[in-house]
Amino acid sequence: KQEVTQIPAALSVPEGENLVLNCSFTDSAIYNLQWFRQDPGKGLTSLLLIQSSQREQTSGRLNASLDKSSGRSTLYIAASQPGDSATYLCAVPDNYGQNFVFGPGTRLSVLP
């Protein structure tokens, strides 16, 4: 059964810093991995989808990488801003079904 972990659980950085969020998954036979953003009490906003054939995907200040063989993905946020403060979730397909398995998230606070 697919298990997803994320470290750190929480991160607080001053504005302007570059930062890396980590996601690990146990079953490396995945077709894709999705990163989401969740603001407190709100829904899930898809940030990036990386297909298994890709190693990286970029959107603005966000860059996500995928290393299937090691069961890891990282989300790199450049020049962080207070508006980036949110919880970041990664999710991978459960290969025995059609659903996504979510990690617990990293709660990011960017201080002005």
Partner 1 sequence: EPEVTQTPSHQVTQMGQEVILRCVPISNHLYFYWYRQILGQKVEFLVSFYNNEISEKSEIFDDQFSVERPDGSNFTLKIRSTKLEDSAMYFCASSGGPGQLYEQYFGPGTRLTVT
Residues near partner 1 (CB under 8 A) are 30-32, 34, 36, 41-44, 46, 49, 89, 91, 93-95, 97-105
Q: Which is nearer to partner 1, 43 or 112 (CB)?
A: 43
Residue type, 107: R
- Least distance between partner 1 and beta carbon 46 (Å): 7
Q: What is the DSSP letter of 11?
A: E
**55 by DSSP, 3-state: which?**
coil
How far apart, in whole angstroms, are the C-alpha atoms of residue 101 and residue 98? Answer: 10
- Least distance between partner 1 and beta carbon 99 (Å): 4
Q: Which is nearer to partner 1, 14 or 104 (CB)?
A: 104
Q: Which is nearer to partner 1, 64 or 91 (CB)?
A: 91
Strand-pairing partners, residue 34, are 49, 91
Q: Which residues make Cβ contacts (< 8 Å) with residue 47, sequence separation at least 6?
A: 34, 35, 36, 37, 59, 62, 64, 75, 88
- Least distance between partner 1 and beta carbon 80 (Å): 24
- Least distance between partner 1 and beta carbon 70 (Å): 20
Selection from 88, 107, 82 nearest residue 17 by Cα: 82
